[in-house]
Amino acid sequence: MTMRLPDWIKTRSYTGLHDTKHILRTYGLSTVCEEAKCPNKGECFSKPTATFMILGSSCTRNCSFCSVESFIPEPVDENEPERVAMAAKELGLKYVVITSVTRDDLMDGGASHFAKTVTAVSRHLFGAKIEVLTPDFKGCCNALKTVLDARPDVYNHNVETAPRLYPYVRPQADYMTSLNVLKNAKELAPHINTKSGLMVGLGETFDEVVSVLKDLRTVGCDTVTIGQYLRPSKKNHPVVEYVRPEIFDTYKQIALDIGFRYAASSPLARSSMNAEGMYKSV
């Protein structure tokens, strides 16, 4: 039985979406906003802003919470970094977020393509801030260093959920690997803000969320996002609970109390939602 969406989770219609979509289609680009069926797409596209998804639209992993398709991945498009930069310039972005599918088929997991995209955006948009949201690169420090050497302003990697739920939610990932990615990022580039995010409503307990927050702070993570999991389709992991807004408020206060520099915690909070405002608040 599908759980009814509660009253406190509401999105509204926005204008101006067509212009953003037109620019993205003109440059042949994908966004995680569309591929992951983000509920905030209308708000972000109307600003406009978007989270560019590079390295194709097919993932080599098959996480049960995600709507991104898992097929044989496409060849790497060597012209994509320039197109991302040009689209970001045409959209008038001052803060650019770049993410990707997981590409376990590539030797470096796509790290060099991330670095090329960051470099291209920096060249075309002087003064723009850049955030990368990367996969775990199977824990490879050399791949991580490749991305960080391109000098993004924020390095983001999501742990997504409590470690107990990984076999059901992220069966091809490892919780400690994700923590170590964030730990290594902070050690390799202490000046770069590190960020992570998790979803609630997947079956985790309150104490497990608090434990994840403490783990993230232990590895030096600066900022965190906590949002309600919303089931993209019937084939995805079911929603176990719709967490009430006051619990999100409590999570936020706990995060700040244990030392996070900023925490976004609400039902519709997402990893890249209001990323520019989050960066400016740190």
In degrees and rounded to multiples of 5, residue 145 shows phi and psi of: -65, -35
Residue 180 placed within a domain: yes
Distance of CA 48 to the CA centre of its chain: 18
Q: pLDDT of 64-105, one tens digit each? A: 998 888 888 889 999 999 999 999 999 999 999 999 999 999
Nearest Cα to 121, choosing from 147, 83, 149, 148?
A: 83
Q: Tell me the per-residue pLDDT of 243-271, one tens digit each, with 9 for 90 and over.
A: 999 999 999 999 999 999 999 999 999 88
First vs last C-alpha separation in the chain:
42
Domain count, the chain: 1
Asked if the structure places residue 6 within a domain, the reply is: no
Q: How confident is the model at residue 113 (pLDDT cuts 50, 70, 90)?
A: very high
Residue 200 tokens read as: 């609630």
Phi, psi of 175 (to 5 degrees): -60, -45
Does the pTM surpass 0.75? The reply is yes
The verdict on residue 2 lying in a domain is: no
DSSP β-ladder status, 262-265 and 223-228 = parallel
Residue 275 has pLDDT above 80, yes or no: yes
Is 51 part of a structural domain of the chain? yes
Q: pLDDT > 70: what percent of the chain? A: 90
Q: Which CATH number fits the domain that encloses residue 26?
A: 3.20.20.70
Quote the pLDDT of residue 68: 84
Q: What is the pLDDT of residue 272?
A: 83
Q: Which amino acid is present at 102?
A: T
Host domain of residue 38: 17-281
Angle between helices 80-91 and 111-124 (to 10 degrees): 40
Map residue 101 onto helix, strand or coil.
Answer: coil
